[in-house]
Amino acid sequence: MIGRLNHVAIAVPDLDAACAQYRGALGAVVGAPQDEPDHGVTVVFVELPNTKIEFLYPLGDNSPITGFLEKNPAGGIHHICYEVDDIMAARDRLQAEGARVLGSGEPKIGAHGKLVLFLHPKDFNGCLIELEEA
């Protein structure tokens, strides 16, 4: 059901510093910051030959990343995103198998302009999983 790895998301306490580090020390192609108000984050994508890294930084007072950074002040891996061909079919299959979809259970538009869902980390070995329709 899952396809290729779309990205690994890292919550960062200092977006500018993270971008500079990846651009400078690692020589990566780092995109521009993009506010995602529906998700409460500012994102930056680091382009790799086979996938992407997504930096997550809090946007607004109710950002879900704020709590993560309070528990992990240095930042850290927040979630992994896999592509799926049909997000509704994937959701229905996962729910039938007992997986919990976060939020309302309805997909939202993500940072790439495509439908996304998040799966509860307790159902996937402690890992928050994002599914993005390919």
Distance CA 2, CA 17 (A): 33
User: Which structural domain, as residue segments, surrounds residue 28?
Assistant: 5-133
Task: Work out how many domains the chain is built from and give that number.
Answer: 1
At residue 61, the pLDDT reads 85
pTM of the predicted model as reported, rounded to 2 decimal places:
0.94
Q: Phi then psi for 15, rounded to 5 degrees?
A: -65, -45
So which residues are the catalytic ones?
130
Query: Which stretches of the chain score pLDDT less than 70?
Result: none
Q: Which two tokens stand for residue 36?
A: 């995602």
